[in-house]
Chains A and B, each alone.
Chain A
Amino acid sequence: MENEVTIRIGGESGEGTISGGDILALASARWGYHVFTFRTFPAEILGGPCLFQVRISDRPVKSMGDYADVLICLNKEAYDRNIGDLRRGGVLVYDPGDFTPESDDFITYAVPFNELARKEVQLFQTKNMVMLGAIAGLFGPPLEALLQVVESRLSKSRKANPILMEKNRLALDVAYRYVREKIEKRDPYQLGPVEKADRVVLNGNQAVVAGALAAGCGFFAGYPITPASDIMEALAKELPQVGGAFLQAEDEMAALAAVLGASFGGVRAMTATSGPGFSLMTELIGLASMAELPAVIVDAQRAGPSTGMPTKMEQADLSFALYGGHGDTPRLIVAPANVADCYTLMGLAFNMADRYQMPVIFLTDQSLTARVESVDRSVFQPFTIEGRLEYGKAASNGANGANGASSNGKHEAAAALAASFARYAYTASGISPMTVPGPGAIPYSATGLEHDEHGHPDYEPEDHTAMMQKRFRKLETAAQELPQPEPYGDSNAEIGLIGWGSTEGAIQEAVDRARAKGYKVASLHLRILSPLPDRALRNFISSVKTVIVPECNYSGQLANLLGARYGLQPIRVNKFGGIPFTAGEILRAIEEVC
């Protein structure tokens, strides 16, 4: 018997496919298992095919798995769409009322989901509970683990009522008993008891929100867009509870403009968006860079271009994040690789924004926004919050920091301090001391115009040259100060994989499997893409014979960047159908090189 199983549920959007899958994942995780989920759904709320896949294991899980071990089909279309992804010899669970599968390649179990829901439970909406009961009876987790999650969910729901709860319980029970009595188990998948561990279970967007709050974010403005809306909705609820403010903006330009206003006011501020909204923000990203204002911009990448595929993943905004906008515009880019990163890197992103007085683009993607992982609770530590480099506050004289009070020594000192204040002073690090409005602060004007050290508009060639250098110097400073990634795998590797973003798990799993086959392979994963971790990259590239760059986009955006920077011509492995890599796909690419 194997203590690991990948279960895929295929069904129709709106019939509880996804929520049923969520309950399965959560129950398994609470029972002590590691989980990793993947889901796709149509952009419509009701109707259209959707799938939910969860990999459940007693060992840490890095990717969604190459194939499903178990495929649960809630209708015939789900069978047609997903049967190709079921492992040969895997288990197909279907409703004999819908169709009869013809292939002998799989172990098949017939469970009349529809009939059980209609006739036994007498409430068709419980079909997903019937499905869960069948899963519990066939593979685990135990019925009680599922029931606990269902009860706690329903108690929080608006639909909560004792009759509905009773029907859910009945549905779980009816299906559980049905499969136990009627089905002779012929497969090896059985989740046995495991030791409980101190983990929490959440998705990427939820971790981003937790990270923002722990980082002391005090303002959010945003505009609804798939798949970033849940970040906005969560912060709309949470920010007022911690003394912060929330604004649903009229468009994405207003959203980032409001964020920059709040940031000018000294408050840690962020927005979250996806491709189309990110495009609209471009001009304001330039303003943030020019006026040297901290801001965190989450871009939950989805498949583009244009409206593209709102509910599918892609890693195709890297070039845009790096170069989008007119003029040479320094900006920082952070890309989380997993759910834990969505938390910890938000802490880093806010510190980076404040420290370097620059916009930070946080590149997550659709698959990571919705990916549920079980994460060690110890990951969620409080952050050390760095402040901005603030110019020494003048002694407050009531109305005017440096004006209007009697001419005592305190006043003269304040006046001298004010006179010497250069908001955009040329410094070795490029970082200039700033002020924030408030009693005693020395005023300045932030501007998108080129300006002198005092922030006054200035178009002189010498000034523009020095200011460009100063602004870009901050990136050099950041490159020196920010953490460098460590290679993963064989320290004498001949083949090196370089990746970024949500593909890390699949890449590392491929490295593990290739090494088990005797190949000398390692990988390097980039979490900061601007500035690039130069030292780590140069060392890694020079230590291997061949570099492979797997990424989920058409043009090979990281490969292009590495080519431009290091003259590297890596082997490009690109997937751009809207679905993340499996470890197997990357393993095949490694094997092709060997």
Chain B
Amino acid sequence: MVQSTTPTLTLKDYKSEVKPTWCPGCGDFGVLNATLRSMAALKLPVDQTVVVSGIGCSSRFPHFIRTFGFHSVHGRALPVAQGLKMARPDLTVIAVGGDGDFFSIGVGHLVHAALRNIDITAIVMDNETYGLTKGQTSPTSPHGHKTKSSPYGLLASQFNPVATALSLNVSFVARGYSARPKELAALIEQATLHRGFSFVHVLSPCPTFYNTFDAWDAAVAPLPEEHDPSNRLKALGYALDSEKQYIGLFYREERPTMESVAREVVAPREFRIEEYIQRYA
């Protein structure tokens, strides 16, 4: 990451002229705020930072930020971001999206992002519902949840994002809450600085289709201060807690990243077709 020499940057330096399309009170405002704040704190160069997203309310994100952006198709933010980072390791790459993107249509990509440990940051805005399509169930909706697509109550179990990320051995796992933007900004900042695949699960309520503000206000609790983020088993215990929604840094481990290892396997040289074709002579 290229650090700026510019003295102070604020949130406004990263905000684009496009007004967010979200409903009033949407949790994603808090996440956007926290993200902009973390960018300013890190003095991320807008010309060398790319925010990649999929489809959904939260995936409009790149349009509201002054860095480069890539608003792709549903579920594919992670592979777009990984391809970009593999090809351009010099850039800061952040993938954003919602629970539909990351835990339903694109959940397969999460597994492989974890295995590769390419240095990108994923920020997942989880509202436990499909907001853009008006309130159907999502993988993180609770069992029994009644919606237009689950008129008799949701028959499936609830997906646990943090526990899944920990079980996949993602090298940086954190959770934040959109209503606590300061703490969230700090987590996103750490996640961006982490070398490897970092996963920030954000509780980001949808006041229009599934208002979980009160429930989460009551359930959210900071991880105990004594929690050691190198202890994955303990972290899993907190992630599996059925009462509390712990926020903070669950787990962190420094591991080699695929894009850097891939560039160390051989010493590159200039390609010359005359030389290359000789093998077929």
Contacts and interface: CB of A to CB of B under 8 A. Distances in A.
Given A242-B271, A265-B91, A382-B273, A258 B82 contact: yes
B215 interface: no
Contacts of A202: 280
Contact of A265 (B73, B87, B276): B87
B264 to A, nearest CB: 9
Nearest to B63: A445
B46 A221 contact: no
A261 B83 contact: yes
Given A267-B87, A399-B45, A400-B6, A261 B70 contact: yes
B278 to A, nearest CB: 8
25 contacts: A218-B87, A221-B83, A242-B268, A245-B262, A250-B111, A257-B73, A257-B83, A261-B80, A264-B84, A265-B91, A267-B87, A284-B73, A377-B281, A396-B47, A400-B47, A403-B66, A404-B9, A405-B6, A437-B50, A437-B68, A437-B88, A445-B70, A447-B63, A447-B69, A457-B21
Interface in B241-274: 259, 262-263, 265-266, 268-274
Contact of A283 (B4, B60, B73, B80): B73
Nearest to B90: A438
Interface in A440-461: 440-449, 456-457
B135 interface: no
Q: What are the 3 tightest A-B residue pairs by CB atom distance, in nearest-first order?
A: A258-B83, A399-B4, A445-B69
B76 A257 contact: yes
Contacts of A129: none
A100 to B, nearest CB: 41
Interface string A84-104: 000000000000000000000
Nearest to B274: A380
A444 B69 contact: yes
Interface of A: 200-202, 206, 210, 213-214, 216, 218-219, 221, 240-247, 249-251, 253-255, 257-262, 264-267, 269, 283-284, 286-287, 291, 377, 380-382, 396-401, 403-405, 437-449, 456-457
Given A245-B262, A439-B47, A456-B63, A262 B84 contact: yes
Interface in B212-264: 259, 262-263
Contact of A245 (B44, B47, B49, B87): B87
A66 B232 CA distance: 67
A573 B265 CA distance: 51
B48 interface: yes
B261 to A, nearest CB: 10
B81 A261 contact: yes
Contact of A380 (B21, B69, B277): B277
A282 B18 CA distance: 30
B87 A254 contact: no
Contacts of A250: 79, 108-109, 111-112
A439 B73 contact: no
B167 interface: no
Nearest to A286: B73
Nearest to B4: A399
B88 A265 contact: yes
A245 B262 CA distance: 7
A380 B83 CA distance: 29
Interface residues of B, number: 64
Contacts of B85: 261
Contacts of B157: none
Contact of A247 (B63, B86, B269): B86
B172 to A, nearest CB: 20
Contacts of A262: 83-84, 86-88
B38 to A, nearest CB: 15
Contacts of A249: 79, 112
Interface string B1-17: 01011100100010000
A439 B45 contact: yes
Contact of A457 (B63, B67, B90, B111): B63
A266 B45 CA distance: 17
A251 B268 contact: no
B76 A254 contact: yes
Nearest to B80: A261
A174 B80 CA distance: 58
A443 B73 contact: no
B266 A241 contact: yes
Given A260-B80, A404-B4, A399 B46 contact: yes
Contact of B5 (A377, A399, A439): A399
Looking at B4, B5, B83, B270, which has the most chain A CB atoms within 10 Å of its CB? B83
B268 A404 contact: no
A396 B13 CA distance: 16
Given A249-B79, A445-B62, A457-B18, 17 more contacts: A219-B83, A242-B268, A242-B270, A243-B268, A247-B82, A250-B108, A257-B83, A261-B81, A283-B73, A291-B72, A377-B277, A398-B4, A399-B4, A400-B9, A437-B49, A439-B2, A446-B69
A439 B68 contact: no
Nearest to A393: B47
Which among A213, A401, A439, A443 has the highest number of chain B CB atoms within 10 Å? Answer: A443
Contacts of A403: 13, 46, 66
B37 interface: no
A261 B269 CA distance: 24
A286 B74 CA distance: 13
Nearest to A211: B273
Nearest to B44: A399
B6 A404 contact: yes
A201 B49 CA distance: 45
A522 to B, nearest CB: 33
A449 B53 CA distance: 12
Contacts of A447: 62-63, 69-71
Contact of A242 (B2, B66, B269): B269
Contacts of A243: 263, 268
Contact of A440 (B21, B47, B75, B88): B47
Contacts of B2: 399, 439
B241 to A, nearest CB: 31
B266 A264 contact: no
B185 interface: no
A404 B48 contact: no
Contacts of A213: 271, 273, 276
Interface in B152-170: none
B90 to A, nearest CB: 8
A258 B80 contact: yes
B74 to A, nearest CB: 8
